[in-house]
Amino acid sequence: MVFFYFCQVISLVKLSQIRISERTHFKNMSDLTVSPLLDSSLNPILHSMHAMGHEHILFCNDNATGLKAIIAVHNTVLGPALGGTRMWMYQNEQEALTDVLRLSRGMTYKNAISQLNLGGGKAVIIGDAKTMKSEALFRRFGQFVNTLAGSYITAEDVGISPEDMVHVSKETKHVVGLPGKSGDPSPVTAFGVYMGMKAAAKHQFGTDSLEGKKVGVQGIGHVGAYLVEHLVAEGAIVTITDINEAALQQMSAKYGVTVVAPDQIYDVDMDIYAPCALGATVNDETIVRLNCGVIAGAANNQLKEEVKHGQLLMQKGIVYAPDFALNAGGVINCFSEVEGLSLEWAKQKAEEIYTTIDRILVRSQQEGIPSYQVANQMAEERIQSKGSLNI
């Protein structure tokens, strides 16, 4: 059955279009680029999995409920692969596949650098979160998660609510972030981002105080809204943007923060840019516009091309707090549920993100290499210390 789904998707994917600027081995991941697959007898998805080090991909389809999903298990050396499920109206299946491959690999790094005994995985559900949700769809998804027998543990991500996860939990126990348990991870994520942002500010401005610092927050959803609360409480001067007009009005009224249109955020005069919406917002087009000293936000995969844009930021003198180290509060919160630990434990652990970001930036400065590369190395060092790698 799985093979059937696999074949379905293969026919939709042309590898020549999958441009994965990914690293192929933990030893030298930062340098290598996956070359286009010229031999048509080879499987393009297996090629991508090999290049990025994925262990397992499960393609899920259910015509009755309209479910189309991809679950990617990247690496389980440190423990079961934990990572959220995202529901998004992707332009096409290829875009969803690329996203889940990148996101799941990011979870391996995030869990490793956060000193959690977890591997990395992620799932995407292709569809409109506003119109396509149903109990049946999430229960069917839960059945697919269950077939992985605990090698993948799911949780909430963009487009998914704790209530959706309740439906998933009717079919599998391999789900965290349920109401009444660790719950919505966003407050802990936002707290971790806030602490890491302070560490990054110390490196750029000589002080970790955010009082009077101009911070631009892109996306005031679950995480962004809590982050704004921390920033305002410390006396930062906050500018926000979002595509959700009602949310902008509400936040502006509550905190008296400035609102700009989504595309204007890159031109705002700010000390700190906090991307808290979607990935790849740090790219060729935006780097030339960004007028800030620090980039520190919750979004995953902020650098569109990790090597190129990580180096460009360093050349520009912008301190970049690597996303997967900075936004680990959510997975820390989930881990507390897996292990039966308290919310207090999760908050204390998220506070340590300050130290993690500090260590990354110190080493980046000492070794003269971009912060994303240091963070990758630190995560890889931890995985390698636990034994052989599956890549």
The residue ranges that bind ligand NAD (CB under 6 A) are 157-158, 185-186, 189, 218-224, 241-244, 247, 262, 276-278, 298-300, 327, 330
Q: How many C-beta atoms surround the C-beta of residue 43 within 10 A?
A: 15
Cα 304 to Cα 21, 47, 143, 270, 287, distances in angstroms: 9, 21, 33, 21, 11
Q: Which two tokens stand for residue 30?
A: 């930062």
Q: Which residues does 283 contact at the CB level (< 8 Å), separation at least 6?
A: 303, 304, 305, 309
Name the residue with tokens 């700009």.
260
> Which CB, 300 or 376, lies closer to ligand NAD?
300
Closest distance between ligand NAD and the C-beta of residue 91, in Å? 14
> Which CB, 37 or 193, lies closer to ligand NAD?
193
Q: How many C-beta atoms surround the C-beta of residue 26 within 10 A?
A: 19
> Which CB, 123 or 391, lies closer to ligand NAD?
123
Q: What is the dihedral of CA 253, 257, 263, 265, to 10 degrees?
A: -170
Closest distance between ligand NAD and the C-beta of residue 262, in Å? 4
Backbone angles phi, psi at 121, to 5 degrees: -155, 170
- Helix, strand, or coil here: 69? strand
Q: Of the candidates 188, 176, 224, which has an alpha carbon nearest to the alpha carbon of residue 349?
A: 188
> Which CB, 116 or 277, lies closer to ligand NAD?
277
> Which CB, 172 or 218, lies closer to ligand NAD?
218
Outline where the chain has alpha helix (H). 2-10, 44-52, 93-113, 135-147, 162-169, 186-205, 222-234, 245-255, 284-287, 306-316, 323-326, 329-339, 343-351, 353-367, 371-385
Q: Of the candidates 6, 35, 10, 40, which has an alpha carbon nearest to the alpha carbon of residue 20?
A: 35
> Which CB, 178 or 278, lies closer to ligand NAD?
278
Rounded CA-CA distance 325/298 in Å is 10
Closest distance between ligand NAD and the C-beta of residue 157, in Å? 5
> Which CB, 66 or 262, lies closer to ligand NAD?
262
Active site residue 110: no
Give the residue closest to ligand NAD by C-beta: 221
Closest distance between ligand NAD and the C-beta of residue 189, in Å? 3
Closest distance between ligand NAD and the C-beta of residue 149, in Å? 25
Name the residue with tokens 């101009």.
214
> Which CB, 44 or 279, lies closer to ligand NAD?
279
Count, residues in the chain: 391
| Angle ∠(209,107,54) on CA atoms, nearest 5 | 155
Closest distance between ligand NAD and the C-beta of residue 244, in Å? 4
Among 110, 122, 133, 214, the active-site one is 122
Closest distance between ligand NAD and the C-beta of residue 324, in Å? 9
Rounded CA-CA distance 35/275 in Å is 30
Closest distance between ligand NAD and the C-beta of residue 138, in Å? 17
Q: Are 119 and 74 in contact (CB under 8 A)?
A: yes
- Helix, strand, or coil here: 210? coil
Catalytic residues: 122
